[in-house]
Amino acid sequence: MRLTIARKIALAVIAIVILCVGTMAWVTSANLQRGFVGYLNQMQTRDLEQLSTLLVARYRQEGDFEWLRHQPRAIGELMGQMTPQLQAEGGLGPRRRRPPPPDRFDDRPGEPRERPGARDPMGIAPRISIVDADGEPLFGPPDVAHAIEQAVVVDGKTVATIRLRPLVQAGGADASAAVFLREQVRDIVIVACVMVLASILLALSLARHLLRPVAALRDVTARLAQGQFDARAPLLSRDELAELALHVNSMAEALEASERNRRKMLADVAHELRTPLTVIRGEIEALIDGIRKADASALASLHAEVLHLNKLVDDLHQLTLADAGDLHFEWRQVELRGLLAPLAERYRGRAADAGLTLDATLTPQPLLVRADAGRLTQLLVNLFENSVRYTDRGGRIAVSLAHDGAWASVVVEDSAPGVPAAELASIFERLYRVDAARTRERGGSGLGLSICKALASAHGGTIAAYPSALGGVRIELRLPLQGSGT
């Protein structure tokens, strides 16, 4: 039989309950017996006081104890006049006082023994011993180990000493006491057994209840392992298992989104690769069939398509390295103004060729960041290229560099056409285009802004897109300044 978690929990609870209940029953039973024996010894000590009183009265009547010396019948008659303490306190039920039968004690001196049918209040006769003032035995053995002693005092003089061997077991005192004690112990054992049985049933039910969410999680994870990313775990409780189910559901959603993006990216990449390859194939087939001459124009067209294909493959390679964490960086201190000013100047001429105006507003304050100059230049070039390529002729591009607390802020914004506000957060996705403005005819691969986002994250910064006051898109890059602690 396989030990499942439910069985382990049930066995653990059952073992703990059995240990606790068994220990409680054993301690309670032991304490009851010990306390009851102590109580009986205390009661029988009071019996010794009664016996002492009777001996004093008889001593005054006889003048000595010769009537008692080695006369078991005499002590039996005397003890028959006693009232048991438990009867007086209502402990063992009513008893009828009557003289003891003549054959109650053995006739052998020093060896008192109760015979069948004899009645002895509290059962003390077999354990009692009486010695006179000189230590000579009057009744019973002269020496009793650990005895309870009671002096018999007449006119201020001790004329005898009663010794009683204390009880060790309650059964040695009286049959009713033994029956009472057995009933109490029996009741304790019955209650303990009932509690253990109830705990077993509750433990099995509890284990089954606790493991229901685990079984559901097991089924969901098995489905996820088979690629069924739409599987979700039900929330059957509000404890840690419910929290675990939430985490599993979040993981499933992330896997589902990742799989969806992967399939979309594969489809987009296939589409992007198919277009230049189709153009190249058509050009080559036209050259082979003699439809088109192999002149400089045809070769230039083929070269442009190959460059576009090469750019797409390079961008995909860059993103793959970024995802795998294999992009290599040469970290050093970089001054942003010195890096950004030459780029802005270089792209001013490029913007003018496209019929655009490029303005740069750079803070004179030196802003130092920890960066890879080459990778950071690549990021900024992608931003400039994006604005130049997708801004309508006659428009404007504005570049700014500012100090914003512990951050350096680089903003590149352009004029129309813009991007719908609902789609601004999506322009950093791979191969994403807005059909109205970001068409393939503009020459992009759809991966430039995705590379920008990966490089910004690698530098500990952020990049985001907003609507521009110029009518186009405003992209802000924020990088932590060196020594800012961020």
Provide the pLDDT for residue 358: 92
Nearest Cα residue to 274 out of 284, 262, 282: 282
Q: Residues 8, 141: contact at Cβ < 8 Å?
A: no
What CATH number does residue 387 fall under? 3.30.565.10
Distance CA 197, CA 190 (A): 11
The residue with tokens 């029953």 is 25
- Tell me, yes or no, whether 43 and 156 share the same domain: yes
**Which of the 8 DSSP states describes residue 220?**
H
- Tell me, yes or no, whether 303 and 438 share the same domain: no
Sorted by sequence, the CB contacts under 8 Å of residue 387 that are 6+ apart come out as: 397, 412, 413, 414, 472, 473
Q: Is residue 132 part of a domain?
A: yes
- Tell me, yes or no, whether 161 and 28 share the same domain: yes
Residues pairing with 402 in the sheet: 409
Sign of CA dihedral 46, 49, 55, 57: negative
Q: Is residue 12 part of a domain?
A: yes
At 85, list the tokens: 């303490």
Q: Residues 173, 87: contact at Cβ < 8 Å?
A: no
**Rama region for 37: left / alpha / beta (φ>0; ψ in -120 to 50; rest):** alpha
What CATH number does residue 245 fall under? 1.10.287.130
Q: Is residue 191 part of a domain?
A: no
Provide the pLDDT for residue 262: 77
Q: Is residue 225 part of a domain?
A: no
SS3 state of residue 142: coil
- Output the CA–CA distances (angstroms, integers) from residue 180 to 86, 191, 192, in the order listed: 13, 17, 19
Tell me the whole-structure pTM to 2 decimals. Answer: 0.49
- Tell me, yes or no, whether 362 and 468 share the same domain: yes
Tens of pLDDT, residue by residue, the chain (486 residues): 566 666 777 778 788 888 888 888 888 877 777 777 777 777 777 778 888 888 888 888 888 888 888 777 887 777 777 765 444 444 444 444 444 444 444 444 444 444 433 445 445 667 778 888 888 888 877 777 677 888 888 888 888 888 888 776 555 555 666 677 778 778 888 888 888 888 888 877 877 777 777 778 888 888 888 888 888 888 777 777 788 888 888 988 888 888 887 787 777 777 667 777 887 888 888 888 888 787 888 788 788 778 878 877 877 777 777 776 767 788 999 999 999 999 899 888 889 988 999 999 998 888 999 998 888 988 898 899 888 988 999 999 999 999 988 999 999 999 988 888 878 878 887 766 665 444 444 555 567 788 888 888 888 999 999 999 998 999 999 999 986 544
Nearest Cα residue to 339 out of 387, 384, 385, 376: 376
Q: Is residue 197 part of a domain?
A: no
Q: Is residue 196 part of a domain?
A: no
The residue range of the domain holding 459 is 332-480
Q: Residues 430, 320: contact at Cβ < 8 Å?
A: no
Q: Residues 163, 149: contact at Cβ < 8 Å?
A: yes
* Count of CB atoms situated within 10 Å of the CB of 309: 18
Q: Residues 131, 143: contact at Cβ < 8 Å?
A: no
Provide the pLDDT for residue 486: 43
Structural domain count of the chain = 3
- Tell me, yes or no, whether 69 and 148 share the same domain: yes
At 84, list the tokens: 């048991």
Please list the helix, strand and coil fractions of the chain in percent, rounded to the nearest 5, in that order. Answer: 55, 15, 30
At 27, list the tokens: 């301690």
Sorted by sequence, the CB contacts under 8 Å of residue 413 that are 6+ apart come out as: 387, 397, 398, 468, 469, 470, 472, 473, 474, 475
From 151, 176, 201, give the residue that closes a domain: 176
- Tell me, yes or no, whether 420 and 271 share the same domain: no
- Tell me, yes or no, whether 249 and 277 share the same domain: yes
From 324, 345, 367, give the residue that closes a domain: 324
Sign of CA dihedral 22, 28, 31, 37: negative
At 224, list the tokens: 């996820």
Q: Is residue 31 part of a domain?
A: yes
Q: Is residue 226 part of a domain?
A: no
- Tell me, yes or no, whether 168 and 246 share the same domain: no
Q: Residues 468, 418: contact at Cβ < 8 Å?
A: yes
Sorted by sequence, the CB contacts under 8 Å of residue 41 that are 6+ apart come out as: 148, 166, 167
- Tell me, yes or no, whether 59 and 145 share the same domain: yes
Cis peptide bond N-terminal to 417, omega within 30: yes
- Tell me, yes or no, whether 314 and 357 share the same domain: no
CA 174 to chain centre: 58
- Tell me, yes or no, whether 308 and 345 share the same domain: no
- Tell me, yes or no, whether 307 and 352 share the same domain: no
From 280, 299, 324, give the residue that closes a domain: 324
Nearest Cα residue to 9 out of 197, 242, 211: 211
